Each structure stands twice: as structure tokens, then as C-alpha cells.
Amino acid sequence: MLSEKMYNILNEQVSKEAYASQLYLAMASWAEARGLEGISQWFYAQSEEEREHMLKFIHFINERGGHATVPKIELPPKDFPGVREAFDASLEHEQMVSEAINDIVALSLEERDFATNNWIQWFVEEQMEEEASVQSIIDKLELLGDRNLYIFDRDIMAMRAAGESKE
């Protein structure tokens, strides 16, 4: 059974994961409209992954005696100044999500809710991977510069596949 504080913070995380999915969906649409097929595919895949994370939280809350609520989601931006800025926004968002996950860990320890603590550890590791993945993309964009966007767009899905094969 979840405490009221744990129930609330987990439901807040449902909202954060839903927003992350929508943010990546908006980024995917933005990239696709500009002919950046590889980048749009990467963002579409991220959107789906964040939706899966949201569902994990919903199922966990419900399995622990709560009732997860479907959140109203803030409208994400629909336009980005450029590819680098979109990935910078992605990293900033992932860091915010990591902080929120850490808050859940802290509460689970404070309340001696070891079941939640054990369960949330998967997300701790996932967030480390997410931040590293986006930072790696930003590093590559920095190396390539604006003139090699075609090569980057062509290769980004291969970079994602290589990152997944390390797991």
C-alpha cells in the first residue's frame, strides 16, 4: 500500500512521463516537417519509450493499491530554432526527469517503502542512460557542425541501435 505522499509523487511522475512523450512527439513532427527523417525517427522512438515509462508508473500505482490518474498535459512547444537546440531541450528535460526520479527515491527511503525503492531503481539507471545518450548526440553535433547535418540525420538511428546493443 502506498502512502498518500508516495501516491501523489508517483501520480505527478505519470504526468511528467506523459509530457515527455508529447514533447518528443512534437520534436519528431518538427524534424519530419523539415525533411530530417533520421532525427524524426529518433524522436518518435523516444516518444514511444516515454509513453511506456508512463504506463509502468500507472501499472505500479494501481498494483500497489492506488488509482493512477490520467493527467492533463501541458502543450509542448511546436517549433525549435534548430536541431542542436532541440537536443539541448531534450537533455534539459531528461535532467529534470532524473531529478524527479531522485525525489521519488528519497521519499521511498524516508518512508522506508522498500518495494517502491526497489522498483524505482530501474528508472534511476534508465535516466542515466537517457542523459548519456542525448549528451552523446549533442557531442556529435558539436563535432559535425551545422554543415554536416545530412550525415548526422542519416546516421542517428544507427547511433541509437548501437546504444541499445550495449544494454
Q: Which range marks the domain in which residue 149 is found?
A: 4-165
Question: What is the DSSP track for 42-89?
Answer: HHHHHHHHHHHHHHHHHHHHHHTT----PPP-PPPPS--S-HHHHHHH
pLDDT of amino acid 96: 98
The domain total for the chain is 1
pLDDT band for position 150 (cuts 50, 70, 90): confident
Query: Lowest-confidence range among 5-9, 88-92, 137-141?
Result: 137-141
Q: Is the pTM of this model over 0.85?
A: yes
CATH code for position 52: 1.20.1260.10
72: left (phi over 0), alpha (psi -120 to 50) or beta: beta
CA distance 107 to 102: 9
Query: Lowest-confidence range among 31-45, 80-94, 130-144, 151-165?
Result: 151-165
